[in-house]
Amino acid sequence: MNKVRTRFAPSPTGYLHIGGLRTALYAYLLAKQASGDFILRIEDTDQDRYVEGATEFIYRTLRLCGLDYDEGPDVGGDYGPYIQSERRSIYREYIDKLINLGEAYPCFCTKERLDELRAKAAESKTAYVYDRHCRHLSKEEAAEKMASGIPYVVRQKMPTTGQTTFDDAVYGQITVDNSVLEDGILLKSDGLPTYNFANVVDDHLMNITHVIRGSEYLSSTPKYNLLYQAFGWEIPTYVHVSQIMRSPGKKLSKRDGDASFSDFYNKGYLKEAILNYIALLGWSPGTDEEFFTLEELAERFSISGISKSDAIFDPAKLRWMNGEYIRKLSFAEFHEMAIPYYKQAIQREDVNLEVLSRMLHTRTEVLSDIPEQLDFVDTLPDYNVDLYVHKKMKSSVDTSREYLPQAWGVLGEIEPKDWNEEVIHEKLLGLANSLSVKNGQVLWPVRVALSGKPVSPGGAIELATLLGKEETLARIDFGMEKLSVAPASI
């Protein structure tokens, strides 16, 4: 039994799409559960698409996610180089072999000729297929042209009859008529291979046992099988995975704004939550469990749990799952992660950040939600008196007008050194009790006066504790003033 070796082979386009990350994750899991190797290979044969810094970005992101690769451009390995543009001579060698085998041929057709063909096809409303013009050149003719320096590409010589069948570990057996296969380009005129050639050569040379990739490659897989057969190479296990869609019919894409891992990560999503969520998008453990660490995933992952149909990315569920991960954080962990967001939201120096964290820990699903929840801390937002009206709390403008000053009174009695949650709680509830009114009738107006918002990440007592005596009394003062000029009753 060969050691399992999988690879993730992204193009350096500058960002890591959620779907791509999932493919990487599956490849990683498949390798790790079999104690195999996970390899990173950079597919940069399209020099036009090269983006500066993109490879480093891929290294960083994979490491950040914990998808450590055993071999790759920056870690080395026995099968390098791991960047395709550095493997030029290797492809040349194998393309020559293929030509000698009679399985490929040089093609000297110009761009113009091809465009003409395409135009003609469009005109007659038939599908464009390369007419195999150069396939019939004699060896001598071809050699002569090659020698004379005419630019050329190398095309795969497809069988024109028969069928090609391949097995996919998730989709099963797939058969296509060879007649639908085109004499595709294997080597471009710039001397670099197309994906269609490079992936086969590299996967073989790197001893890849399981090829995990998106289902968009399903229809070109027969061509790859033909290549493996031409060389007499062992065909790897194919594991094609469905796509992740943004909404029915819409592929998740960079254009839509938030499809990349870093977008979520930078917004305050935890990497563990993102990985956990995408692992479940297209794979099921077959049980009810849905929280897994990377290690647990490696243990539990199975090809049989991979689903064939496309999955729609549900931001709401990711959000929920992220919230679950945040709640599972220890208080100290949460506090540390939240601090940068506090700094962003609050200028005042006198607020106790730990009090904030106690309030926010269960109220935060995504870290970047924090600033908005705290927008009342520095300055009291302007608000309308009808905020004092709350049916369930039995609070109205009238009751608020009556109880707010009393609350001000009992709070004012507290010595600054005793200003803490316990004492405030005692004072405020004591007031409601002595007045024989519902707690809410006292607490609601206080909460409103302190926050100026319909909802706040804490009640009257917590907000008073957070804001301090001076600010609390000042805000209540302001509220009383507002109420005094309000129309009779609402």
Partner RNA sequence: GGCCCCAUGGUCAAGCGGUUAAGACACCGCCCUUUCACGGCGGUAACGCGGGUUCGAGUCCCGCUGGGGUCACCA
Does 363 contact RNA by CB under 7 A? yes
Give how far Cα 125 sits from Cα of 16, 111, 119, 128, 169, Å: 38, 21, 9, 9, 37
Residue 364, CA atoms < 13 Å, CB-side half-sphere: 31
Q: What is the dihedral of CA 407, 409, 411, 416, to 10 degrees?
A: 160
Of 155 and 401, nearer to RNA (C-beta) is: 155
Cα 490 from Cα 482, distance rounded (Å): 14
Name which position in 212, 259, 414, 461 contacts RNA (CB under 7 A): 461
Name which position in 219, 266, 352, 384 contacts RNA (CB under 7 A): 219
Q: How many residues bind RNA (CB under 7 A)?
A: 87
Does 177 contact RNA by CB under 7 A? yes
Cα 368 from Cα 323, distance rounded (Å): 12
Does 387 contact RNA by CB under 7 A? no
Name which position in 142, 218, 230, 355 contacts RNA (CB under 7 A): 218
Cα 404 from Cα 49, distance rounded (Å): 65
Does 430 contact RNA by CB under 7 A? no
The nearest distance, CB 233 to RNA, in angstroms, is 20
Does 314 contact RNA by CB under 7 A? yes
Site string for RNA, 4-23 (x = CB under 7 A): -----x-x------------
Q: What is the largest CA-CA distance in the chain?
A: 109
Amino acid identity at 193: P
Does 406 contact RNA by CB under 7 A? no
Of 28 and 444, nearer to RNA (C-beta) is: 444
DSSP class of 181: -
Q: Which of 4, 483, 88, 430 is nearest to 443 (CA)?
A: 430
Of the candidates 3, 254, 267, 343, the residue annotated as catalytic is 254
Query: Applying CB under 7 A, which part among 131-139, 229-237, 389-397, 474-482 lies near RNA?
Result: 389-397
Please list every residue from 115 through 174 that binds RNA, using CB under 7 A. 127-129, 151, 153, 171-172, 174
DSSP class of 106: E
Let me know: does 156 contact 226? Beta carbons within 8 Å: yes
Nearest 5°: the CA angle 42, 46, 50 is 70
Of 172 and 232, nearer to RNA (C-beta) is: 172
Name which position in 73, 236, 268, 457 contacts RNA (CB under 7 A): 457
Name which position in 3, 110, 120, 420 contacts RNA (CB under 7 A): 110
Of 174 and 410, nearer to RNA (C-beta) is: 174
Let me know: does 362 contact 338? Beta carbons within 8 Å: no
Q: Which residues contact 396 (CB under 8 A, 6 or more apart)?
A: 388, 389, 489, 490
The nearest distance, CB 218 to RNA, in angstroms, is 5
Of 170 and 298, nearer to RNA (C-beta) is: 170
Whether 254 is catalytic is yes
Name which position in 444, 467, 469, 475 contacts RNA (CB under 7 A): 444
Does 310 contact RNA by CB under 7 A? yes
Strand ranges in 45-120 using DSSP code E only, listed in sequence order? 104-107
Cα 209 from Cα 7, distance rounded (Å): 9
The nearest distance, CB 391 to RNA, in angstroms, is 11
Please list every residue from 68 through 107 that binds RNA, using CB under 7 A. none
Does 375 contact RNA by CB under 7 A? no
Please list every residue from 236 through 295 that binds RNA, using CB under 7 A. 243, 245, 248-249, 251, 280-284, 286, 288, 290
Name which position in 212, 351, 443, 466 contacts RNA (CB under 7 A): 443
- Return the SS3 of 161: coil
- Return the SS3 of 318: helix
Task: Tell how strand 185-187 and strand 153-156 pair up.
Answer: antiparallel
Name which position in 410, 439, 477, 478 contacts RNA (CB under 7 A): 439
Name which position in 132, 135, 145, 188 contacts RNA (CB under 7 A): 188
Q: How many Cβ atoms sit within 10 Å of the Cβ of residue 136?
A: 8
Q: Which residues are catalytic, by number? A: 254
